[in-house]
């Protein structure tokens, strides 16, 4: 895939909650490249946009394509291998160990060689000593890395992160920025965050969002 | 030819006399309820005893036929007689005009009737306003009491034993029961009571047979006349209703009573666990339907669940057992009990399951979806395992509550622990010991379940799956 071909293509996306229009006629095109960020005040619709791209909520109008494939026309299982999402509060499964969290989807989707990939991922994230721990035994930063690994094991083309620095101190934020820059080589990173100093560490491509609309050059 | 004829004739006579001999030894099938001490009831050792039973045995010996007792419900006993399933009822049936139209009665084998009993030491004034008289629910005694003592306050009870208990505890001033029943209580339980005044009405107790069974009627009448004139009858009278108290050893048989109580406990457990098992399946189904169909189906089910939770278990039980037959759905008391427990527990369990489902953060379902899990996979691997810690203790609490509430099914004559104990109490009149034993038996079953619930909660808390305050 060439660098200038569009990885994510959003056309006139509208999402409503009740009478409120959270996203209105939003269009965006993101090509593969450096980590991409969307900034904006809370309530501007950033998270809703991520959830829509991840297929967790159905748009009222408009289309979302990843690698030219409309994500509304494919199954959950297919979509999970194209788009991954790391939630702001991680949403690890508390009844599973770190390893079980990471391997649940691969086990259900019968993906071969997942155990080895998980081991490599854990090593890369410096989590290999903690594979048998449970989420409540981990620190916030460690939990986030489990959530990253849980998404990355499915090798998504696009990895979405919702406010990844929200619960982290300055030191951990810096480590995360380094990590995300590295991970961007596997999966295109798309971050939404209002933490500009965090984004300054690694995100050169940015758009800001206000009241459900993007401001600036939406053809990045 | 005449020789052949003689042979056939003698053969015929032979068969006839053999038939007669066979007929004589055919058992006399006698219907009774087994629930009417001292006339017919199951003693502390589980054997059928009582005045009726002794009379029946004496008559069988005189008729040279073995006795075969059949336990039947009172309201079905005459149809059993008419349909030929039994030959006679020796179960303290009073002669009435209505009954006389469908069956033939023998001579009465005893006379009795409604009698007012008061504590021996009291100076009763039954004419005084507010005089408290206890009667058994469903008898005509209440009606007669109101006619005879219009100023009295009439209280109704489940059975004579309960009336007597309250009379002895001074919670009522007098009781009305059958004269012979009262005399038997006085004798067997050393109840300090005495009859006051004459009979409120007299009843003639006799044996009904089928109208077509003329020979049995004749034979029974002949033998009854002889029996009543014999010293045997006088001895029976003395045994049950005389001044000499019966020995309590006869009714206090510890191993037999323990056996009966344990059998009652087993039935309590069978009914509870079958009912709750069914209730768990039902609640799983209800929860799935409620959660997967919003809209009016979910709302209708929620209202149905609330309805069951907001109405008394006993009313639900009665509706199933006594109500459904009127629309053609009949079931045994045992099945009605299981169904009532299933419905009642399902309502509580559905509520518990719904609460547990909603307690799992919706982010967990979203995370599962974002990882490509189907709705079923999400429920099975992500949501349900997190519901489990929240379900365990409340479910065990419901099981415990249901085992305790299963005592209520005794009201439709299911022989579980509580009814078994009540029957033993009516035979032995040892309410304190027996109710204490029953309480201990319930406790032995329910307490481990409560402990188990607590242990599981602590284990879940250690795994970080549950917050225990």
Q: Do B369 and A137 touch (CB under 8 A)?
A: no
Per-residue pLDDT, B5: 55
Q: Tell me if B382 sits within 8 A of B368, measured CB to CB.
A: yes
A37-46, A52-61, A183-192, range with the lowest pLDDT: A37-46
Minimum CA–CA partner of B384 in chain A? A95
Per-residue pLDDT at B246:
47
User: Minimal Cα distance from A136: which residue of B?
Assistant: B464
Q: What angle do CA B423, B429, B432 make, to 5 degrees?
A: 100
- Give the CA angle between residues A90, A95, A98 to the nearest 5°: 60
B117 closest CA partner among B186, B165, B37: B186
Mean pLDDT of the region A91-113: 94
**Residue ranges of chain B with per-residue pLDDT less than 70:** 1-25, 138-139, 243-252, 427, 468-469
Q: Which strand (E) or helix (H) includes residue B364?
A: helix B362-370
Long-range contact set of residues A180-183: C-beta below 8 Å, sequence gap at least 24:
A180/A35, A181/A35, A183/A148, A183/A152, A183/A159
Q: Is the pLDDT of residue A44 over 90?
A: no
Say if the Cβ atoms of B464 and A76 lie within 8 Å.
Answer: no
Distance, in angstroms, between B469 CA and closest chain A CA?
A: 17
Residue A6: per-residue pLDDT: 84
User: Given pLDDT bands bounded at 50, 70 and 90, which one contains residue A219?
Assistant: low
pLDDT at B303: 92
Nearest CA in chain B to A84: B370
Give dist(CA B327, CA B314) in Å, integer: 20
Nearest to A83 by CA among A188, A4, A208, A177: A188
**B362-401 confidence digits (pLDDT tens):** 999 999 999 999 999 999 999 999 999 999 999 999 999 9
Strand partners, B114: B178, B201
Q: For strands B35-36 and B40-42, give the pairing.
A: antiparallel
Residues 159-218 of A with CB under 8 A from B: none
Q: Is residue A207 within 8 Å of residue A39, measured between CB atoms?
A: yes
Residue-level pLDDT at B244: 57
Percentage of chain A modeled with pLDDT above 70: 96
Q: Express each pLDDT in B183-195 by its tens digit.
A: 888 877 777 898 8
**Exposed / middle / buried, residue B53 (Cβ in 10 Å: 0-12, 13-18, 19+):** buried
CB contact under 8 A, B385 and A150: no
Of A80, A95, A108, the CB nearest to B370: A80
Share of chain A above pLDDT 90, in %: 63
State the Cα–Cα distance between residues B259 and B261, nearest whole angstrom. Answer: 5
Residue B38 CB burial class (10 angstroms; 0-12, 13-18, ≥19): buried
Kindly report whether the global pTM for this prediction surpasses the value 0.80.
Answer: no
Residues of A in contact with B385 (CB under 8 A): 95
């Amino acid at each position: 895939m060439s660098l200038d071909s569009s990885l994510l293509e959003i056309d006139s996306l509208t999402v409503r909650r009740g009478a409120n229009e959270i996203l209105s006629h939003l269009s965006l095109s993101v090509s593969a490249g450096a980590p991409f960020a969307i900034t904006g005040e809370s309530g501007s619709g950033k998270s809703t946009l991520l959830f829509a791209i991840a297929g967790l909520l159905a748009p009222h109008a408009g289309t979302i394509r990843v690698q030219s494939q409309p994500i509304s026309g494919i199954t959950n299982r297919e979509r999970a291998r194209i788009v991954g999402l790391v939630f702001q509060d991680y949403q690890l499964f508390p009844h599973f160990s770190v390893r079980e969290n990471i391997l649940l989807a691969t086990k259900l989707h019968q993906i071969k060689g997942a155990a080895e990939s998980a081991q490599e991922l854990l090593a890369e994230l410096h989590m290999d000593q903690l594979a048998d721990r449970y989420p409540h035994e981990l620190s916030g930063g460690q939990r986030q890395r489990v959530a990253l690994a849980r998404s990355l094991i499915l090798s998504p083309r696009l990895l979405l992160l919702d406010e990844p620095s929200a619960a982290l101190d300055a030191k951990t934020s810096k480590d995360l920025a380094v990590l995300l820059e590295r991970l961007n080589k596997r999966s295109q990173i798309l971050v939404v965050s209002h933490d500009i100093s965090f984004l300054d560490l690694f995100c050169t491509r940015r758009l800001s969002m206000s009241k459900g609309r993007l401001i600036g050059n939406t053809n990045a | 030819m005449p020789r052949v004829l003689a042979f056939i004739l003698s053969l015929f006579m032979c068969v006839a006399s053999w038939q007669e001999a066979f007929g004589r030894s055919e058992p006399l099938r006698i219907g009774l309820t087994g629930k009417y001490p001292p006339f017919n009831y199951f003693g502390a050792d589980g054997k059928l005893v009582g005045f009726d039973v002794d009379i029946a045995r004496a008559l069988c010996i005189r008729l040279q036929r073995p006795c075969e007792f059949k336990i039947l419900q009172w309201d079905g006993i005459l149809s059993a007689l008419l349909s030929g399933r039994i030959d006679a009822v020796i179960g303290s049936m009073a002669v009435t005009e209505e009954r006389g139209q469908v069956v033939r009665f023998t001579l009465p084998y005893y006379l009795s009737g409604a009698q007012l009993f008061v504590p021996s030491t009291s100076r009763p004034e039954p004419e005084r306003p507010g005089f408290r008289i206890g009667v058994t629910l469903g008898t005509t005694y209440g009606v007669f009491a109101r006619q005879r003592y219009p100023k009295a306050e009439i209280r109704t009870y489940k059975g004579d034993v309960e009336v007597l208990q309250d009379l002895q505890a001074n919670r009522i001033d007098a009781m009305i029961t059958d004269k012979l029943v009262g005399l038997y209580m006085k004798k067997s339980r050393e109840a300090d009571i005495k009859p006051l005044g004459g009979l409120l009405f007299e009843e003639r107790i006799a044996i009904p047979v089928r109208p077509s069974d003329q020979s049995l009627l004749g034979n029974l009448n002949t033998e009854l006349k002889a029996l009543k004139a014999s010293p045997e009858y006088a001895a029976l009278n003395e045994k049950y209703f005389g001044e000499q108290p019966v020995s309590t050893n006869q009714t206090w048989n510890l191993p037999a009573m323990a056996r009966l109580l344990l059998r009652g406990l087993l039935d309590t457990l069978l009914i509870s666990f079958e009912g709750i098992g069914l209730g768990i399946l039902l609640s799983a189904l209800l929860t799935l339907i409620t959660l997967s169909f919003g809209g009016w189906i979910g709302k209708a089910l929620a209202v149905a669940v609330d309805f069951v939770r907001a109405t008394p278990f006993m009313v639900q039980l009665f509706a199933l057992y006594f109500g459904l037959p009127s629309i053609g759905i009949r079931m045994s008391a045992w099945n009605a009990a299981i169904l009532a427990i299933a419905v009642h527990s399902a309502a509580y369990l559905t509520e518990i399951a719904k609460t547990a489902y909603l307690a799992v953060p919706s982010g967990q379902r979203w995370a599962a979806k974002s990882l490509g899990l189907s709705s079923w996979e999400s429920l099975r691997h992500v949501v349900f395992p997190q519901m489990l810690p929240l379900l365990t203790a409340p479910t065990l609490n419901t099981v415990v509550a249901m085992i305790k509430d299963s005592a209520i099914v005794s009201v439709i004559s299911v022989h579980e622990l509580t009814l078994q104990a009540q029957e033993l109490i009516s035979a032995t009149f040892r309410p304190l010991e027996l109710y204490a034993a029953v309480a201990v038996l319930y406790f032995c079953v329910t307490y481990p379940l409560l402990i188990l619930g607590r242990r599981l909660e602590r284990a879940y808390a250690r795994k970080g799956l549950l917050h225990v305050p």
